[in-house]
Amino acid sequence: MNAVAFQPPPHPPPLLDETQVLQLANKGYLALDIPKPLSTAVSELFDHTRDFFTLSTSDKQSRYPSAEGTELGYYQIPREKEYLTYRHCPSISSRTPLDLAAASLWSLAAPFLHRILSDLSLALDIPLSAWDPLLDGCLSMPNGPQETTPTLLRLFNYFPASGAAERHTDTGLLTLCIGTAPGLEVWSPASSSSATNFGSSPEGDWISAHPHPTILVGKTLQWLSNGRLVAGPHRVVASSEGRQSIVFALRPSLRRRYFDLNPFGERSVVDLVGVWGQIRGSVFNVNAQTAIRTEQKERMRARGLLWDEVKLVREREENRSDEQSGEDSQEAVVKETVEEVEPEAEEEEPKEGSEELGEEPEAEEEEAEEGEEEPEEGEKEPK
């Protein structure tokens, strides 16, 4: 009898069923049970996080000094929240049990979100390999600053009675949010409404995401799908007891500047760094201090960059050849395909004394996960 050659399956078994895929695509959020190993890593990280936030402010700042605005290290917003952001592992000589627990969770959360992207690929007829350049260096915590990508892990401690985050959507691909208490709310639009048209009933309502882990679609994924997936609006409301949360934001790697959109149905190559800058430049940092947020809003309003005034839908190239290659031709395509919005240099936030924050110094303050970008009252985010 002739042996039958083993043929591996063409893709991993689906993690989401059809109903869950539609929920994530149309509403931008999904409550989802997480695998046991990831759940265990979450519990262990929360144990270390609670211990960390009991330290004095000076100890927390000295162990994890702020850097890159709000994008790395420890920050505190008076009467609102404090948080620790990881973009890479600390040096081996200084790593703590908290650092190891954070790296462990990253190594499980990133592939988990990658699996969800794979399920979306099947639903949208996108090749599974399309995500490879976007996730280069993102699936495990980088060993040092030289390997850093925009992806981050953020640990929040919201203060009792006043800790909150205004309504917003995230800027990346997918975000995983897990909290210890109620507070995270997602916008659930009415069946006839778009997830981006959030405000008050009867168009939809804010619903509590607790106690379930929650997956949120970000603006970059909405852009890549050309609007077939919508970014999920969410907010954090204050609770009497306060809450802690773990937020893992899977964002596009920028290690390869030029990105081929053919797998996503576009016959063009774009400057991914420029696209990322445009998306980030269309929002303000919900995790910055109140005065900084207000200033950012006013500056962006003056530039005509608030929400529905921002063009985030890529232009189609009808006559672009698939065979164009080489850096010169790529640059030409980029200029015609993407109109890059140069984010203004962010003002550095005050350090100790006013306690805190800032963001990447060369670009608009980045999203702040569970509290990331956000629209103003009555304004709508771009479609």
Least Cα distance to 25 among 34, 13, 16, 33 occurs for 16
pLDDT for position 64: 95
pLDDT for position 318: 34
- State how far the Cα of 84 lies from the Cα of 321, in Å rounded to an integer: 46
Answer with the residue of higher pLDDT: 211 or 12. Answer: 211
**Average pLDDT in the chain:** 79
- State how far the Cα of 273 lies from the Cα of 267, in Å rounded to an integer: 18
pLDDT for position 48: 98
The burial class, CB within 10 Å (0-12 / 13-18 / 19+), for 228 is middle
- State how far the Cα of 58 lies from the Cα of 44, in Å rounded to an integer: 24
pLDDT, one tens digit per residue, over 297-317 is 888 778 776 543 334 444 333
134-140: long-range contacts (C-beta < 8 A, 24 or more apart)? 134/173, 134/252, 134/253, 134/259, 135/110, 135/250, 135/253, 136/253, 136/255, 136/256, 137/253, 137/255, 138/110, 138/250, 138/251, 138/253, 139/107, 139/110, 139/111, 139/114, 140/103, 140/106, 140/107, 140/110
Retrieve residue 187's tokens: 């916008």
- Count the neighbouring beta carbons within 10 Å of the beta carbon of residue 154: 25
For the whole model, what pTM was predicted?
0.79
pLDDT over 70 percentage in the chain: 73
Question: Is residue 248 classed as helix, strand or coil in its secondary structure?
Answer: strand
Whether the pLDDT of residue 202 is over 50: the answer is no
> Would you say 235 and 167 are in contact if contact means Cβ atoms under 8 Å apart?
yes
- State how far the Cα of 143 lies from the Cα of 45, in Å rounded to an integer: 19
pLDDT for position 101: 98
Confidence of residue 62 (pLDDT cuts 50, 70, 90): very high
pLDDT, one tens digit per residue, over 255-267 is 999 999 999 988 8
For 342, residues 6+ apart whose C-beta sits below 8 A from its C-beta are 277, 281
Residues in the chain: 383
- State how far the Cα of 150 lies from the Cα of 130, in Å rounded to an integer: 18
Confidence of residue 242 (pLDDT cuts 50, 70, 90): very high
Least Cα distance to 281 among 264, 300, 265 occurs for 300
Confidence of residue 325 (pLDDT cuts 50, 70, 90): very low
- State how far the Cα of 30 lies from the Cα of 120, in Å rounded to an integer: 13
Retrieve residue 64's tokens: 């994890």
Q: Is the dihedral of CA 113, 287, 299, 151 positive or negative?
A: negative
pLDDT, one tens digit per residue, over 113-140 is 999 999 999 889 999 999 999 999 999 9
Q: Which residue has the tokens 């168009």?
A: 203
Confidence of residue 291 (pLDDT cuts 50, 70, 90): confident
pLDDT for position 106: 98
> Would you say 233 and 286 are in contact if contact means Cβ atoms under 8 Å apart?
no
Ranges assigned E (strand) in the chain:
29-31, 73-77, 81-86, 152-158, 165-168, 174-179, 184-189, 204-208, 214-217, 234-236, 243-250, 258-260, 269-271
- State how far the Cα of 110 lies from the Cα of 35, in Å rounded to an integer: 13
pLDDT over 90 percentage in the chain: 58
Answer with the residue of higher pLDDT: 296 or 343. Answer: 296
